[in-house]
Structure 1
């Protein structure tokens, strides 16, 4: 960063854009203020406008000093930013970079528009060198050789400079051709050698792959043979152990042959001991059999109890179904009563409206209008309370139905499981009760299907009743919208309200005056 700041400082000093207060040696981009930055950019653009005729931008007309107001500074900053973008600056540039300059963006902008000046200065140094001085310095022998040329050739159409340039050009072309041919030959040779080396390497790779594949096959074969040998060794070990056992038995028999009487006595004693052990085991079995039989009897009783419980659950299911049907009837009756109450309420409201219309023959005042509105609001609140009560009753009934349906589902699942297990056991035992259990299970499945169909039918009936109620409400709403008979009264009320508003406004004006 210090090198970049030094380069920018030198370029600004050379171009004369830096003020006298910044001519010290401790100058840096971070110390550059907004006013100084705007002045430097403005000086650069003025120099560019005076030096280049192709520039088409227009600078701000009054910029002797930096603007004091924020709006003026904003305009100058946005104008300078647009000019820099037109000149080809590709970075982020806006009025914020001039009002609140940052070190990074300031360095980027200054280095961007100062680097072309340095490049132009270098180009000018090389442009100052004339072709004649370049030839005189590089080719000093050319003028001496030209003096010996005959005057006829010198006076011809071809000048000395053209002859020199042609000779230099021809020699350069010849050397370039030779060098190009040599380079082409070398590249061809190097490519051929590289191709040969690649072919050899590829052959070696193929050979190694073939060898690896063959070695893998050999390894697989040897592994299979090794496994076979291991299996054979295990088999031989097992046969050897069996033969050792047989040999030990035969040795015992051989040792027992010389003393046959003593061995027979020993065997008889062993037989008696085994008989005694057998009797003891039989007694133990008898003693252990009694609790098992008792446990079996308990399990049988539990089984009978479970069967009785299943029958009880079936009876409860039937009662739950009858209760559900009764609840559905109660719900329908409640809904019908709600509809009847709504109709009665509407009729009463209509009667009250008619009575009020008959009583209020004169024009309505503001108080009367507000009183009527308050009465309507009270009636709406009462209707809402009635509706909430009815909805609470419906929710309670729905909860009871849900509880009953869940209990019914549980009992159905338990009953189905028990009936199915009993039927399956009876089939396996081939007893006479199997047909009865199967028939009971079938009837149970039929009852469940009929109950599901009944629930679907009840739901359809409820949906149809809801649709009919919605249609009835829609018809009543359409009939209520026919308010053409009350239009005259509404217009009269509106006129009275306007008249009352006018009088109130006049009173307010009088009070304010």
Structure 2
């Protein structure tokens, strides 16, 4: 365990724990050093614990800090026995197990000076930046985006836009607007765009209020025309009639009259036009319904015609058959004889064809069976090949995944090796590790040899017991046969039975003694481990601490009484 202790002490020094050079094993650790090293490890794993690195003088405060440290170690996932007694009344085995757990939980790269983690790698830097950004955003108060108007002043600029509402526009202006006028996005900056558009909209609305009454009437007439044109027309004839009606109602003469009329008269005319439009729409709907009814009747008539055509074809066929039969009636005997000869010839032809078919059928069935067997064999072989191919494909995918994982691990290890300090003499550690691995391999080989010897011994024992049982059964049968006739054979049989039972008892006693010896060995090992814990010294320390706690309680009680008096 010296190598393990040296590695633990070296890592504790690297994370900033102040340990003397004289201390070379965990046996030499005192309570203060243990607590200091554990707190350094916890600070390196989870910074900001706020625990004191030195134990207080008061025993009650010591117990409280030790219990809090033990709880933090349990929260990290330590599964062993952990409490204040592990830190204050330390045992070498428990301390070594605890420090091994904490060293495994340490970050990969640590700063020797202060124990703060150096985060390296793009992914880790990105994750830390995201984490810091989220924490800063959570600390701020939330505001809607529309309320955030910091550093955005309301500055507008005059925009030049073509005057679409005016009529009298010169050709020069149009040519300027078409060729040389810049878009509004290029006439100002992005911050000035929305304020400039708002100001321009206000100016446009003020100009629109000054449009003459004639232009408003003209716009109103255009709206009525747009309303009439937006009506959905389904049929071509109805569309023509609707266009005629709209053209009759909205001629140029009526528009000139509307200019001289008042607003109420214009509204009345628009209402009459809309009524006419609705009336025409209703007429269109009625015509559509009548058209649908006529289409249904047409389909029914076509179906009836189809049925009558089929009946007519059937009647024509029957008529042809009957006309042929009527032609055969005058010479019926000759026709019957001819039909019988034709039937006989057809039957003979059918029998010949059947015989020929049976001859060919047997050969074809045999060929079919052979081909079927060959196809089944090929299918089974192809299925096996497909299964093997799928398995190989799956194995190749798994190997590719493993190779990718190992490549990533190889890169990480290379980065870690490059980041490690060159001053540390790692050859000694690697040499020690290789020696430990060699010793472990030797022990494994020796254990394998012992297991092989025990297996061989068990086989020999089983063979001998089987041989002994068979020989006992054989001798028992032979002596039992002779025991019916001879007195000596009877005595020999009794002695054989007693000898067999005594041997079984001896074997059972040997087994019990072996189990007892194993139990004694286990108990001796437990006793040795308990002796290594040095329970007596720990009990003495506990009693001394208990006396100190009692003294502290008595002094506190006296101080309390003095304050009351």
Normalised by the length of structure 1, the TM-score is 0.24
Structure 1 or 2: more helix by fraction = 1
Normalised by the length of structure 2, the TM-score is 0.22
Larger relative contact order (C-alpha < 8 A, sep ≥ 6)? 2
